[in-house]
Amino acid sequence: MKLDGYKDITQLNKKQTILVDMDQVLNNLNVEWVRLYNEKYNDNLLYQNITDWIVYDFFKNCTHEQVWELLETPTLFSKMVKPLEDSVKVTEILSKFFELYIVTSCSHPNIILEKFEFVETHFPHIHRSDIVTCKNKCLIKGDYMIDDYVENLRCFDGKGLLLNTSYNLNVNLPDNTIRVTSWDDILMYFAIQNKELMNYLVKDMFECGESYIEKFDIKTVAGIKNYLNLK
């Protein structure tokens, strides 16, 4: 039954949803994880040399259990890790045009609290109520998902964006997924999908002039200029 004057608010100004992974997508976890390992177990491993998702095979000087124990180092997820380049800038822009949610796996209660602290410090435009902790991301629904683990995207119903890392460069992509190389690459992808976002970037470009180049990489600027030429 529909009441007089009733409006379905779920259909009003409904934005598409973007689900964003945290570890090695919003933060540089691998850099700090490898650093902790090298310091504790006297090795010289480079995170760029980790070329497979089964990471513990690359940590030669400790057991599998000790590899994962490093992730429980106090303040690793709150203060040691840093935002991935341009992730703060781009997610802030995307949050104006999309519903943005962080979907991340947490193996320990303390890690959950640290991740909340990290987001509140570096991503204040994402509210803690928009952080979803979930090991099985196949249960999560949305329009887009940005992740570094291809299996999370393989079972996703929407469009997947696989952010390049050393350990996923050789994986086969499912049909619903594309590769992206950086957060500026991600921004350009969504600007092409969303006319309002593209117009926002174009307006920003004209208002900022040459200083715009300092805010976004040359690939993004080229994409916007190409858009203007097509109009």
Residue tagged active-site, from 4, 8, 23, 52: 23
Name the residue with tokens 């690459």.
Answer: 185
How many residues in total does the chain contain?
231
- Known active-site residue 185: no
φ and ψ at residue 76, rounded to 5 degrees: -55, -50
166: Cβ contacts below 8 Å, ≥ 6 apart: 47, 48, 49, 50, 51
Look up residue 212 and give its two tokens. 């715009």
φ and ψ at residue 167, rounded to 5 degrees: -95, 0
Taking the C-alpha atoms of residue 33 and residue 80, their distance in angstroms, rounded to an integer, is 9
- Known active-site residue 23: yes
Count how many Cα atoms sit within 13 Å of the Cα of residue 63 in the half-sphere of its side chain.
Answer: 3
Look up residue 11 and give its two tokens. 């259909």
Taking the C-alpha atoms of residue 34 and residue 37, their distance in angstroms, rounded to an integer, is 5
Taking the C-alpha atoms of residue 124 and residue 29, their distance in angstroms, rounded to an integer, is 19
Residue tagged active-site, from 21, 86, 147, 185: 21
Q: What is the DSSP letter of 108?
A: S
Adjacent-strand bridge partners of 27: 83
Question: Hey, which residues are catalytic here?
Answer: 21, 23
